[in-house]
Structure 1
């Protein structure tokens, strides 16, 4: 039986209202995911006991090392929380390390226990990364920071091309968006013009030291945050440019512990 049109509209509005009554840690629909803007302050901590007292609206923390309760606590303090994961390198210390076949594991990437992945093998890597993104979603994270997203520019042990990297990075963005998560492009400066539309923010290391920060302008012009760190330069050497470019810049140690010096 056909319902009167006004009744149909009323039921639709009531249904939408109920579905929108999610708690602070719930994920938004993919069309309403978090989108941080230029200049958003942040804290990036991947080692040591988590210091939750830093008065900033965004925390970027390790997705494996922290629980749903930790994420919920940060949400209660009014923070958005980014889930750090490595998507381009294998790490021997992760609980899913044995799920990666030797055929996709390449050369070391310079960090102990880490090796580049053969990102051409999406048949193997897509389900593994999907499980990791499920973990981020289920813990209540708002976004993902996928690391090691520029293997094609490194000696990985595989003949990776720029096209391989674009294809894989877009796959990573899609996996995040399908789960209602925002996603950041980590480094990979040369491919920003092609990828800025696929990602919700950028994360960069040492663009000031290497004179590359202007390459991040497309994100800022698109109204998207650029979360940036330097390790070796004093703030006097990069903060003025960071403010001009509207980057969210920090001085951090390589250990990425709680210490920070913001611009």
Structure 2
């Protein structure tokens, strides 16, 4: 974190200290003034490395450590419910979920440990760690933030529950709204209704909803504000057919699984031709 970002985050925290959350999980900030991603716009997903967006792209998702893309709607990725690769040592051990004396790792991402959302006290401390990342996204010019691993409770062996993650999510959504950011739900199709109605999420950023035929679960909640990333190694049919399917989101992009930057060997990027 740069000194400028830290200072901006501290200033934003001071501004937020006077904002109380409402009972339904909606922040006290002026949510009505927050801009949602343009419906149906062509997206790109650049978590593997930032590069200049292609012509016609209007939405770009990048990691919180990257700069916002200029001239487009920019979404900041935050891994809020598990540790980010390389950042395990920055988390207090008692905020990490343990089982049998050992940290609980995500089986699909063995360098990510689940954070422990099981108590009010721990959730407050987790929110205190994540909120400067959120305000840093705002200070860096992003328009929105997306929170990943909202479904970490499903990998906790029963130690965590949906309500635990919803309670933390509501705090983080409030912080993002207070910072002037829209908030995207990342994946977790089965919890979309609860995440929107109880935690206050504004839109969805999803992976492979067309491949797994679950886009309706998001569209039923967020309408046209669903951004879908499909991957080349998991396509059940040609991407052009998926684009033509009315069940697919209008905002859809095809990427390589590693989300490599443009120019790298193996980079793939394609959007739907909606003309």
Contact between 1:196 and 1:218, CA under 8 Å: does it hold in 2? Answer: no
Q: Deviations over 1:5-38 (max 9, x none)?
A: xxxxxxxxxxxxxxxxxxxxxxx96541111243
- Residue 117 of structure 2 is aligned to residue 119 of structure 1: yes
Aligned to 1:138: 139
- Aligned counterpart for 1:108 among listed residues 105, 126, 135: 105
Deviations 1:119-162 (A, max 9, x none): 232032010011111211121211111111111222x3561112
Larger Rg: 1
Residue 214 of structure 1: CA displacement?
1.5
1:159 corresponds to 2:148? no
Q: Residue 193 of structure 2 contacts residue 221 of structure 2 at CA under 8 Å; is this kept in 1? A: no
Contact residue 36 and residue 225 of structure 1 kept, 8 A: yes
Separation (CA, whole Å) in 2 of partners of 1:225 and 1:125:
28
- What is the match of residue 9 of structure 2? none
Counterpart in 1 of 2:24? Answer: none
Are residues 1:148 and 2:157 paired? no
> Which residue, out of 84, 87, 90, partners 1:91?
84
Q: SS at the partner of 1:90?
A: coil
Contact 1:166 1:191 in 2 (8 A): no
Q: Is the 8 A contact 1:38 1:246 kept in 2?
A: no
Aligned residue for 2:109, secondary structure, equals: coil
Q: TM-score, normalised by structure 1?
A: 0.76
Q: Which residue of 2 aligns with 1:21?
A: none
Cα distance between partner residues in 2 of 1:53 and 1:214 = 28
What are the ranges of 5 or more consecutive residues in structure 2 without an aligned counterpart? 1-28, 98-103, 262-267
What residue number does 1:16 align with?
A: none
Give 1:239's match in structure 2, choosing from 217, 237, 243: 243
Matching residue of 1:80: 73
The whole-number CA distance in structure 1 between the counterparts of 2:250 and 2:149 is 21
**Contact 1:143 1:182 (8 Å CA) reproduced:** yes
Distance 1:173 1:214, change over 3 A: same
CA distance in 1, matches of 2:85, 2:216: 35
Q: TM-score, normalised by structure 2?
A: 0.73
Indicate the residue corresponding to 1:181 in structure 2. 181
Note the residue ranges of structure 1 that are not aligned, 5 or more in a row. Answer: 1-27
Instruction: Quote the residue 1:217 is aligned against.
Output: 219
Cα RMSD (Å) of the superposition? 2.2
Partners of 1:35 and 1:201 within 8 A in 2: yes
